[in-house]
Structure 1
C-alpha cells in the first residue's frame, strides 16, 4: 500500500471532499503515505464562503472561513495552496451587513473568478437579490464574472438559485448548460417567463444523470406557469433513461389538473397508472419499469402544487388510494434509447 505514489494519495484525498475533522479521523486509521495525505488535508484544508452585497451602486464582500482556520483577507487566501482551498458557496444578498466597500472592478475581476474556480460538487451559488434590488446590468456583470472564471461550468457544482433579472438570466443559465455543467439542483421562481426559450432551457436540464432536482418557488403575485407538458415529458425521459439514478425531484406551483401529465407518452416497457387519494384532494400518477424503478407525480389541488419524485412519494402505496380509469389516450411514440 505504501508503494502508491504520494501524489496519487493526495489526489484521492482531495476527491473525497471531506471536512477537516473527517480527514483527521481518517488519518487515525491509516498508515504510511495515506496517513500523511489525510493529515495534510486535516491540517491545511480551508472551507470558504463568499458573500457579496450590491446596494444602490455600492459593492462589498467578505470571505468567511471555517472556525478552525479563521477569516482571512483576500490577499492571504490567494497565497494559499490551491489544493486546499474549497469554496462552499457564493451568495449575492442585499441583506448582508456592509463589511468592506470595494471597487466593483476588484470584486468582478479578481474575487468572484478566484472563488468560483474553487467550487465543489456540493457547493452552491445563490442570487438572493430580487430584481428590484439588482438591476439587469448589475446581474449581467456578476454572470460575466462567473463565466470568465477558469473552468467554470466545465466542472459540476451542486446548487444554483437564480431569480429572473431579464434575458441575462436566460443567457447565463443557457451558457452553463452549453458547457456541460450538470447542476444537481436548480432553483427558479415564478417570475421566470413561460416562454419557449425558457422551456427549452429547462428541458436541456433533464439530461439523464444520477441526481436531478428542479425547484420552482412562488414569487408574490407572479404566477407564470413555467412547467409544461414538454417539460413533463423531459422529466419522464430523464428518469427512464438514467442508468444509475439516485434521486429525481421536481417541485413547483400548479393550478391545473392531471391532463398534461397524462398526455406524456409512455415509453416502451414502462407502465403507468393514475391514483386518487380517498380522503385527500390529491392525485398520484405512477410510472414503473421492469427493473423496479418507479417515478411518481403528486398533484395537490388544495395547495396548488405538483411534485415528481424518484424514489417515489410513499403515499402512492396507500391501499386507500383508488386506481382511476383514464379516458385520455395512452399515447406511444417511437422512443429513442
Structure 2
C-alpha cells in the first residue's frame, strides 16, 4: 500500500460519515473519474449534485451513519462509475443500504465482531439505464398494469413460448377492479422487441419469497417460520402497490439477461471485462477476511433489501397506453 493510499485511508477513517464527500482528495477523485469515464467536463457540477444527495440520504437514514467510512467512500465513487444518481423521486436510479459483515475477529467473550458496511443498491430503473448504456436494450416503455376488466391475452408463439398476444385497456374501469398481471415492452437494438409479463401466480410467488426473506426463528417450533411479506404487496386496498409492481416487472424482464458491469461497491456483480478503475484504495484488500451476506440486524429507517421497497412506495409511475396490439411473431424472446 503506497503512502498516498495510506494517507487517504487514515483521513477517511478519521472523518465523520457525512464529511467524507467534503474531503479534498475525495472531491478531486470524483471529478477526475467522472471526466475520464464519461468523457465530459461536467465532473465538478455532478460532484456537487451527488454530494448533496449523498449527505441527504445519510441524514434521512440514521443507520447509514454506522457504516464504515471506507465503504461509504466506495459507494460515493460507484455512483460515478455506474453513471447513476442518488437523487430520489418516483423512479430513483439507486440508493444506499447497510448490512453487517463478520470482520473475522472475536471480542473478549469470543463472539464474532461485526462491521456495518454500505453498498449501492441499483434499482430496476437504474438497471434499465445500465443495460441501455451497455447496448443490451434500446428502450423500454413504462410497465402496464392489467386489470380483470381489460382485454389481455397470453398464448404460444410458433416456438411454443408463452407471449403477450394482445392487450386493450377498458376505457372506464369499474371501482374495485382487480389487478391480474403486468407487462413491459422492451425494444432491442435491432428493432425487435419482447414483452415480459408477471401474472398473479408470479406475484404470489414473489410475495412468498418476501415472507421467506423475513422469516424468523421460532423457539417453540425450533425452526425458522415465514414472516410477513413486504407491506407493499397488500397496501393497495389489499392488492399490490402499482408502483411496486411496475418496478418488479422491470426487474423480472431482465432476469435472463447477462449481468452488466458495475462499480466494486455496488450490489450487482461484474461479468464483462472493462477498464479497471482506480478507487485510490484496494477494495479486495479492504474486504479480505470478511464474510459476505451474513444475517444482520435491521436498522430502523434503513432501506429494505427486498429490492426497491421503500424507494417505490407511494410512487406514481404508471403511464398506461389506451390500446396496444401485439402480434404473435418471431420477434418474441426466449424466456
TM-score interval for Structure 1 and Structure 2 normalised by the shorter chain: under 0.3
Name the structure, 1 or 2, with higher relative contact order (CA <8 Å, separation 6+).
2
Flag the structure with higher strand content.
1
Q: Normalising to structure 1: TM-score of the pair?
A: 0.24
